[in-house]
Structure 1
Amino acid sequence: MPKRYVLRAVAIAAASALVVIGAASSASAHVTVSSPDAKPGGYGKLVFRVPTESDNTSTTKLVVSLPTDHPFASVGAQVKDGWKVEKKEEKLPAPVKVGDVTLTKAITTVTWTATAGGIPPNDFDEFALSVGTLPNGVDALRFPAVQTYSDGSVVKWVDVAKDGAPEPEHPAPTLKLAAAITPVAATTTEGSSDTLARWLGGGGLLVGLLGLAFGLRPRRTAAESGK
């Protein structure tokens, strides 16, 4: 096989791989929240997915803030090996009626602190809460989060997306109650991002394969063309 065909094939394959890797990483870079069963008026499990976006430091602490305008009467935190969990209860700015009870105080933050190594570089972990009751007539709930690394650096996932504006750099994890409960960061669902990533990745591979096929096809010489 001529050398130029081999080089062309390698370049096309590399470009296709970059398309797949880039699309996948962009879809999973944020701290997100999802739920397999949450629905208005009921109880649900909230799952916070936390990636360590570092090559040499670990995630050692996660603080999740719960909504105070729609507080939960019940908050149960997942107990995890290697992590200490703390729930902070505070007085609410104003009484809030939740179902048959009126709350004057509620759990406002949940903190997981690593007692061992934490979340290693370029890995992720999940932290769960059981909460209820979830409010009626609310499309989405935001859960601002603060992520601390082993070198002391802090990332605040608190930004709110605005209509018509690009997604902020550090969007607050947001749970969409009206839409089948899928992982979200700000107003963009991780599920949708994953689907888009798969389509982009598949498209990149297809383009790469087509390019490879055409690149490796023997070219007819001028003499052959004139026959």
Structure 2
Amino acid sequence: MLSRFVLRAGAIAAASTLVLAGAATSASAHVTVSSPDAKPGGYAKLVFRVPTESDTASTTKLVVSLPKDHPFAHVGAQVKDGWKVVKTTEKLAAPVKVGDVTLSQAITTVTWTATGAGVPANDFDEFALSVGRLPEGVDSLSFPAVQTYSDGEVVQWVDGSEAEHPAPALKLAAAVTPVAASSSPSSSEDSSDPLARGLGGAGLLLGLIGLGLGLRSRKPVGAGTSESGKAQS
């Protein structure tokens, strides 16, 4: 009976781990933006990571929208083999001062279009921009995007906390609070890796089960001593 209990507990733990692994994989398959040097008031390299979430089609087009409320005075696009890049300039609703420059128009979208096969099924690629100046007094910047597949499917990466496909968002370095900045590396890794937490929980569960079995199978010390005393008498 105990053996069946151990097997059942192990199966439950393994199934839970697989579910968590699937959730982690799904959560990581978003279009994201990161930067190695983004700071308010400065220039930065923005890197958009684009996964192809299809088993049969490839990504053939990516359109990234830049913030109109915080426009960039400078936008440079990475030159990529196999891709054509187009920057679209738009007149702003009202002039915006960026550093020492007042902008009445700005680049609002950057479009990469594949001239070849694009990003293959189940693979990813990265598309980079050099922008500046970044706004000050802003926690993060949002970059809505549109991803087009070779089979005609179009995925809208938009703003909204409940969006199925959330827009890429960049958190500016100087906007990080002292508490968050002083968090221990282990805490940061644990909070950003649900799979690691799931594996740790499963291991703890199996360890507790093993401890319980060991305690149940051990003969009480007092009982053994009493029987020995009777035999000697």
**Is 1:197 the counterpart of 2:233 in the alignment?**
no
Q: Number of residue pairs matched?
A: 208
| AA aligned opposite 1:196 | D
Contact 1:19 1:200 in 2 (8 A): no
Q: Cα distance, 1:19 vs. partner?
A: 3.7
**Unpaired segments ≥5 residues, structure 1:** 162-166, 181-190, 221-225
**1:24–1:194 Cα contact (<8 Å) kept:** no
User: Comparing 45-54 with 146-155, which one deviates more in the overlay?
Assistant: 45-54
- CA distance in 1 between partners of 2:196 and 2:17 (Å): 14
Structure 2: stretches of 5+ with no match in the other structure? 178-187, 218-222, 225-233
Partners of 1:50 and 1:34 lie apart in 2 by: 12
What secondary structure, in the 3-state scheme, does the structure 2 residue paired with 1:22 have? helix
What pairs with 1:111-150 in structure 2 (closer than 5 Å)? 111-150=111-150
3-state SS of paired residue (1:87): strand
User: Mapping of 1:1-227 within 5 angstroms?
Assistant: 11=11, 14-15=14-15, 17-161=17-161, 167-177=162-172, 178-179=175-176, 195-207=192-204, 210=207
CA deviation after TM superposition for structure 1 residue 193, in Å: 9.0
Indicate the structure whose relative CO is greater, using CA pairs within 8 Å and at least 6 residues apart: 1
More helix by share: 2
What TM-score, normalized to structure 2?
Answer: 0.75
CA pair 80-193 structure 1, distance change in 2 beyond 3 A: farther
Q: Normalising to structure 1: TM-score of the pair? A: 0.76
State how far apart, in whole Å, the 2-side matches of 1:198 and 1:106 are. Answer: 42
Quick check: 2:32–2:169 contact (8 Å CA) kept in 1?
Answer: yes
Q: Distance in 2 between matches of 1:15 and 1:207?
A: 15
- 1:84 touches 1:113 (CA, 8 Å); kept in 2? yes
CA distance in 2, matches of 1:100, 1:9: 65
- Asked if 2 retains the 8 angstrom alpha-carbon contact of 1:47 and 1:129, the reply is yes
Counterpart Cα distance in 2 of 1:115 and 1:208: 53
State the secondary structure of the residue aligned to 2:194: helix
Preserved contact between residue 73 and residue 133 of structure 1 (Cα < 8 Å): yes
The alpha carbon displacement at 1:213 in A equals 5.5
Q: Bigger radius of gyration, 1 or 2? A: 2
Cα distance in structure 2, aligned partners of 1:91 and 1:192: 43
1:65 and 1:145 in contact (8 A); partners too = yes
